[in-house]
Amino acid sequence: MKVLGIITDKEKRHILCAMLGGVSLAFSFFWPSGLPPFPLDPAWVAIALCGLPILKGAVVGLATAFDIKADLLVGMALVAAVYIGEIFAAGEVAFIMSLGSLLEERTVRKAREGIEKLVNLTPRTARVLHAGIEEIIPAEEVRTGDTLRVLPGETIAVDGVITAGRTAVDQSLMTGESLPVDKDVEDEVFSGTVNQLGAFEMRAVKVGENSSLQRMIRLVESADASKTPVVRIMDRWATWIVVAAFATAIGTWIYTGEIIRAVTILVVFCPCALVLATPTAIMAGIGNATHFGVLISSGDALERLAKVTRVAFDKTGTLTHGKPEVVAARTFIPGWSAAQLLELAAGAEQRSEHPLGRAIIAYARKEGIALQDPQEFSTIPGRGVSALAGGRRVYAGTRQLMRENGLEPSAEIDAAAEQYRESGGTVVYFGVDGAIAGLIALSDTLRADAAETVSRLHAQGVLTTLLTGDNAQAAAAIGKAAGINQVRAELLPEDKVNIIRKEMRETGLGKVCMVGDGINDAPALKASYVGLAMGGVGSDIAVDAADAVLVRDDIKRLPQLIMLARKTAVTIKVNISLSMLLNIITVVLAALGLMGPVVGALAHNAGALFIVLNSARLLGWKYPCENKKAETAAWPAATVQS
């Protein structure tokens, strides 16, 4: 997502025209009467630069598609004011309308780079085996049933099933799981995921456009196309505004015989303040959000945030830190301490590249345990490691690894391991000299402010859901700790999209804000009513797919953001009401002959200034609960579904 501070060439032209138009109007209005007048009223510059594009757009729209917009009324007022010689009034109307369009354009600009980055992740080649001979071919030429070989560190080209070998695969692209998943023969693997350890062979099942990665790209594209921007309010009412203005002006002219009254009505009927009502409030709201670390891509996104009724969280990297940490170490050899187990375990894992092994080493160092390199070390793909550490033979890994090396877990050990798994942890068994010495449990830990964030959302009347590709036990544990209403686990990217669309289309709680950080969250971010990405740990693709970004991954800002969006929506309604009231008053005064074109234009200037000042109040708005803990409303217990 590009930040709003980046200016396009089109905006540069609009800014230059607005600046020159404003300067010309200042010269026209404030030029001292004692000095020689200009050969031509400077206000013509504003008419030429700001007014002619509006007039051209109105005529083209009317002629080609009979599209009646507020620009048509502005064009009529410009022509009428010039006709009777009120050049300043014409220039002022053109300038205000151009300024409003510029502000609105800046609020709806959004970069669309996420799809390109997803396409760049698509593997270019694949190793195909024909009669035992390896051949590297373009990935799009792989056919269903082909046998592929995937080496450590390579990206899997298509969806398929492992036919030979064991490994661990980084599936974070597809499921968001924080840990690599061990894979064995007959296990499924997905395109775009990365082989971490051993080489393996696989049979291609879904290739080309049917692969998981290509389906995810299409999901992002279709979800992006389905979002319709909010139509500007004056364009929604343009037909009635034009008809009312024209009828009132003609009626006044016929009744009074004074064309200047009719022209004044056209001038004051121009929705100058109404043009500024929405974009100024949105710009101020976006500016306020920037101060507390949230970047919002468009004004439409801020307007939608005000209507959110449910927040759907991803788990890994969003509610949690996204990396495994040691949460428990337990020994089963009499006289052994947890520190002794940890010292032996960290020594055995010294040369391991597996995230669990690195987490154990980091924890040992944090505890001040001195580490020694193992005398021997070997990786057993999909199982764990074997090492000679401190003169002892150590096996570290799965339960299967223990059994394959003659180490049968007792009922006590299995019960302890199951207890850690039920809490959402991953268990590493450690066998030493022919016996299972102990277990180390690791888990992706909950962010410190996650529970408070959920509590504040509930206090604002917003429901919460957890959508994750992780296993049901881990999801349930995190959901319970955070206080989430509903938990949905073991989901692929398309499952998240389907759930969000179902919530949006088939229930009364359809205004879903999706909060995520990974590439796998991009389709859901696009499909949701509002997408919010974690900017610090989040992938670039998730950030590009989102409507807003938490720059510092500070999820406690989410309730503040929703409240700011609601405050902005209220400000917009007040602005619109006041601008319409101003229109009614000035039209009546113009019809009674109590206001001329120049005074009418100035009145609109004053009204526009008031709208801007009212919107600017949002810049100083502060979250009322910023230093208070929100009260926790009573909500049903979390339910888990796979």
Indicate the residue type of 289: A
Compute CA distances 607 → 193, 308, 453, 496, 603, whole Å: 57, 31, 40, 47, 6
Strand ranges (E), 529-574:
530-534, 548-550
With residue 639 as reference, give the H or E element that holds it. Answer: strand 639-641
d(CA 58, CA 68): 8
CA-CA distance, 483 to 635, in Å (whole number)? Answer: 9
Residue 315 DSSP label: I
β-pairing verdict for 159-164 and 133-138: unpaired
DSSP per-residue letters across 495-526: HHHHHHHHHHHHSS---EEEEE-SGGGHHHHH
Which is the catalytic residue, given 41, 314, 444, 547? 314
449 classed as catalytic = no
Within 10 A of 60 (CB to CB), how many other CB atoms are there? 12
The region, left, alpha or beta by phi > 0 then psi within -120 to 50, assigned to residue 135 is: beta
The total of other beta-carbon atoms located within 10 Å of residue 201's CB is 16
25 HSE (CA, 13 A, CB side): 26
CA distance 338 to 411: 20
Residue appearing with tokens 């150590």: 394
- Beta strands 392-397; 384-389: pairing state: antiparallel
Q: How far, in Å, CA of 642 to CA of 573, rounded?
A: 42
Within 13 A of 136's CA, how many CA atoms are on the CB side?
6
Active site residues: 314
